[in-house]
Structure 1
Amino acid sequence: MTIQTANLRQSLRKQRKGLNQFQQRIFERTSLQKIYQYPHFKSAQKIGIYLDAFGEIRTQKLIELCFTLHKSVYLPMICNMNQRLVWVKISKQLYRNNRFSKHSLGMLEPMASRGLHVSHLDLLIMPLLACDRYGTRMGMGGGFYDRTLASSPHKPYRLGLGHNFQYLDQHLKRHVWDQALDGFICPAKSYFFKRSP
């Protein structure tokens, strides 16, 4: 990782952590309105969604919307054997009862022994640190989403979700293992990208 990339990561993390509760509520509501109108959300039935833990756009209202629309909600869980994500279907009752365990990295995970491969999902809503105008995604640094998607013969529609400042009108370096986004939603705007073959 270059010094420039490390500094960018640090700056974005700091901005994200600096958001107050009022800002987060506004951003969650605005993003939810955009997601609700997004064509791939409307058509998707099996949706993978992250549980926010580090200042990302909150997903509680989005998950509740999915339940209301009778869409199936799948939450990520790290498989310790290969450091990839598997996707655990969660019911409204389990979600509202907070049936989660805390991973050593700090995020909550569903309490389950196994989950589905990402290829079973129609739509994958992904957290990120940054997204550029070409759909290149800068993740948290663990590589979990990249490894998971690289192993998938069928890749679901990949939708990044973030704050306005996380969309960069510049070119992020894309490595061969990086999995680009198909779209990105932030409170200000929705973006669509052409996925490379």
Structure 2
Amino acid sequence: MTQQTSTLRQQLRKQRRNLNRFQQSISSTQCLQKILNCSQFHTAEKIGLYLDAFGEIQTKKIIEQCFAQNKSVYLPMICNMNHHLVWVKISRNIYRNKRFNLHRLGMREPMASRGIHVSHLDLLIMPLLACDRYGTRMGMGGGFYDRTLASAPYKPFRLGLGHDFQYLNISLDRHAWDQTLDAFICPSKSFYFRRK
């Protein structure tokens, strides 16, 4: 990782953490409205999401909307053997009662021992630190999503979710292992990319 990338990561993390509750609530509502206008959301039956923990766009409203529309919600769990993500189906009851484990990296995970491969999902909504104009996704640096998606080149539809300042009208450094997005949604706009 270059010094420039490291500095950018730090700046974006700090900016994201400094958002107050009101800003977060408004952003999540605006993103939900854009997701509801996304054709991939309408046709998806199995949706992978995340539980926000580090200032990402909050997913509570999106998850509740999925349950309201009888869509299956899957949350990521890190497989310790290969550091890939597997996807665990959760119920409304599990979600509302917060039946999750706290991972050592700081995020909450489902309390299950098994999950499905990412290719079984129709739509994957992912957190990120930044997205550029070509759909390059900068994650938190662990490479979990990149490793996982490398084994699923065609499915699911990859949708990044972030705040307005996380869309960068530049070209981020892209490595051979980086997995690009199909779309990026932020509170003010939706961007669609052509995946190579």
Q: Structure 2 length normalisation: TM-score?
A: 0.99
Structure 1 outlier segments of 4+, above 6 Å: none
Please give the per-residue CA displacement for 1:36-94, whole angstroms capped at 9, x wherever unaligned.
Answer: 11111111110000100000000001000000000000000000000000000001111
CA distance in 1, matches of 2:152, 2:134: 22
Equivalent runs, 1:108-119 vs 2, <5 Å: 108-119=108-119
**1:151, CA displacement in angstroms?**
1.6
Match of 2:149 in 1: 149
**1:175, CA displacement in angstroms?**
0.3
Match of 1:68 in 2: 68
CA distance in 1, matches of 2:54, 2:111: 20
Match of 2:131 in 1: 131
Match of 2:188 in 1: 188
Output the amino acid matched with 1:125. I
Unaligned runs of 5+ in 1: none
Q: Structure 1 length normalisation: TM-score?
A: 0.98
CA distance in 2, matches of 1:31, 1:136: 19
CA distance in 1, matches of 2:150, 2:132: 20
Q: Give the paired residue count.
A: 196
CA distance in 1, matches of 2:128, 2:59: 13
Q: How large is the Cα RMSD of the aligned pairs?
A: 0.7
CA distance in 2, matches of 1:120, 1:96: 24
CA distance in 1, matches of 2:36, 2:152: 26
Please give the per-residue CA displacement for 1:114-152, whole angstroms capped at 9, x wherever unaligned.
Answer: 100000000000000000000000000000000000122
Unaligned runs of 5+ in 2: none
